[in-house]
Amino acid sequence: MPLLGEITALITACFWSMSSIAFTEASIRVGPMYVNVTRMLIALIFLSVTLIFLNVKVDLSSNQIWNLTISGFAGLVIGDTFLFKAFRSIGARISMLVMALVPPISALLAFFFLGERLSILGVLGITVTVSGIALVIFKREERPTSNYKIDYSGIFYAVIGAVGQAVGLIFAKYAFNENEINGFLASFVRIASAVIMIYPLVIITKRFREPVKVFMKDKKGFLFTLIGAVFGPYLGITFSLISISHTKVGIASTIMATVPILMLPLVHFYYKEKLSWISITGAFIAVGGVALLFLH
């Protein structure tokens, strides 16, 4: 199918925009760790049913499994845990704006560790992206009509989340480069490995005690987690993996990085935020920088 990678990347951006609001609401109610672990468990159930229904053959090399496992740890355990902490601290819009750093960080990691070429235009793209984000973060009286304010600890969480997701994206691409993989199967391996690694940790640290009781106490928290799980790790991650398997990582990343723009009307109508021109301009500049980085 022509432009399959580009179309699925745009669908991914839409899914992530919706899931970011759902996860923000859930994180506020029950906490980031409950949301992260629960949404992965829910996604595993959906993915298992899908794989059985589609009769997908599990034909992966040990190297592909290893790369997908590292991708899951970096992107889902590290990246998303810190992203959810950012959601709770600074809200969905600013968090997803900072996540526009994922493509530039991916390019820099590839330059330093893989020896990939980074052109002058690419460096300009990184600079423009960072400038657009900085314009929003450092402007005065950001989000005066919102429940959130600029909190630099929240910005730090979002940056760590972006680094984790960038690393996860690179290792996922390694797995796809070796041989074709079904997108749902790749998502299952990533999420399953992430659960295997994070579940003992949260049990030992007592950050996931009596989840049923927690969600029974706040049923809306579970509903938002469920909605986010469907649009995030189930459909969103799967479509993102399908995208990078059918087009260049740079093109897919650029389209998926339009989330900060897609978030603008969502937060305006859902949270009744009155967005300033600086906020809108900063989002477009950041995404424009990502386009410069890859589409040259």
pLDDT tens digits for 50-81?
999 989 888 899 999 999 999 999 999 999 99
Residues 6+ apart with CB under 8 A from 292: 121, 122, 124, 125, 128
Closest CA to 285 of 131, 116, 96: 131
Instruction: Please give the helix or strand (H or E) that residue 154 lies within, else none.
Output: helix 152-178
Higher-pLDDT residue of 284 and 142 is: 284
- Residue-wise pLDDT for 196-225, tens only, equals 998 888 888 877 888 889 999 999 999 999
Q: Model-level pTM?
A: 0.84
Most confident of 115-124, 166-175, 218-227: 218-227
Mean pLDDT of the chain: 86
- Check residues 141 and 156 and name the one with the higher pLDDT: 156
Collect contacts of 177-182 with beta carbons under 8 A, ≥24 apart: 178/61, 178/63, 178/64, 178/67, 179/61, 179/64, 180/245, 181/60, 181/64, 181/241, 181/245, 182/51, 182/54, 182/56
Q: What is the mean pLDDT of residues 102-120?
A: 80
Structure confidence at residue 149 (pLDDT): 66
